[in-house]
Amino acid sequence: MISRSPTLNVMMAAARKAARGLVRDFGEVEHLQVSMKGPSDFVSSADLKAEKVLRQELEKSRPGYGFLLEEGGEIVGDDRSHRWIIDPIDGTTNFLHGIPHFAISIALERDGEIVAGIVYQPVNDEMFHAEKGGGAFLNERRLRVSARRRIEEAVFATGLPFKGRPNHERSLKEVATVMATCAGIRRFGSAALDMAYVAAGRYEGYWESGIHAWDIAAGVILVREAGGYVTDIDGGTTMLTGGEVLAANDHMHAPLRTMINAARRGKD
């Protein structure tokens, strides 16, 4: 039995409580009330209900902490050192189309650093969780990033822009460059799960542009505690503010970053 801190237990309990409503709504997805946030970017009643439950549960256990919420925006708490970063449904479009690939993502930021994170996939009951210095786990099993060293054996994940989002042509160049060298590229529609899958060794690496802090904050600590590397596309540390991320095992991070930047420069 692994040992978890009280804070991580609070995060996991909040996610499981919110997930009960999500699973019910997922079973009746055709009845959801859906409004448009923007082109091809949906918000559902399920998003809002799940976010409300998460906020209530976390506030109850840690009063004073701030929040950065996908739907509710930023809420400054009395405790300026701590902030929850939450995506109630990462993979909303999948959810609304009846595709069982979505997750709840919760990260705890302390003085600007992510110190704990969970990504919970309720359909499969997969709870990915990590704390700084404590390792990364899937339920009770310790996680380690993939040990593959050869690009031709690697599977990578990415996200692709949709209607209303920029950089379609650039994204296609990046995919074309990477797909010519590797065993496959996946685009499953949940950044949080993409990061968790890198931590679990299911993917050798993942990159994406146009993402937000709530998409990847929990994934950052999952990958790092599983022995992987997380940076922005330029190799820097602006993942949570700059809208770009690259996560990979220690053998694939540098070559994947080199390929993406070469594609952006239009070089082979």
Do 70 and 12 belong together in one domain? Answer: yes
The per-residue pLDDT for 222 is 98
Average pLDDT across the chain, whole number: 94
0.85 cut: is pTM over it?
yes
Task: Calculate ∠ Cα 213-219-225, nearest 5°.
Answer: 135
What mean pLDDT is predicted for residues 40-55? 86
Do 182 and 130 belong together in one domain? Answer: no
Active-site option among 215, 225, 232, 244: 215
The per-residue pLDDT for 39 is 58
Residue 227 lies in a domain: yes
Do 103 and 47 belong together in one domain? Answer: yes
Question: What's the CATH number where 242 sits?
Answer: 3.40.190.80
Do 92 and 116 belong together in one domain? Answer: yes
Active-site option among 47, 51, 87, 225: 87
Do 34 and 100 belong together in one domain? Answer: yes
The whole-angstrom separation of Cα 256 and Cα 30 is 40
Q: What's the pLDDT band for 43 if we cut at 50, 70, 90? A: confident
The per-residue pLDDT for 28 is 86
Residue 216 is among the residues annotated as catalytic for this protein: no
Active-site option among 92, 158, 177, 231: 92
Do 223 and 243 belong together in one domain? Answer: yes
> How are strands ordered across the β-sheet holding 244-248?
184-186, 155-158, 205-209, 244-248, 229-231
Do 118 and 38 belong together in one domain? Answer: yes
Paired strand residues for 244? 209
* CA dist 174 → 208, 235, 246, 265, 268 (Å): 10, 16, 13, 10, 11
Q: Are 32 and 84 in contact (CB under 8 A)?
A: no
10-14, 29-33, 55-59: the lowest-pLDDT one: 29-33
Residue 194 is among the residues annotated as catalytic for this protein: no
pLDDT in tens, 108-134: 999 999 999 999 999 999 999 999 999
Do 46 and 129 belong together in one domain? Answer: yes
Do 23 and 114 belong together in one domain? Answer: yes
Residue 1 lies in a domain: no
Q: What's the pLDDT band for 2 if we cut at 50, 70, 90? A: confident
Question: What's the CATH number where 87 sits?
Answer: 3.30.540.10
Residue 25 is among the residues annotated as catalytic for this protein: no
Q: Structurally, how many domains does the chain consist of?
A: 2
* Structural domain harbouring 212: 151-265
Q: What's the pLDDT band for 41 if we cut at 50, 70, 90? A: low
Residue 70 is among the residues annotated as catalytic for this protein: yes
Residue 56 lies in a domain: yes
Residue 241 is among the residues annotated as catalytic for this protein: no
Do 248 and 126 belong together in one domain? Answer: no
Do 16 and 104 belong together in one domain? Answer: yes
Residue 30 lies in a domain: yes
Q: At which of 79, 112, 142 does a domain end?
A: 142
pLDDT in tens, 228-241: 999 999 999 999 99
Do 202 and 108 belong together in one domain? Answer: no
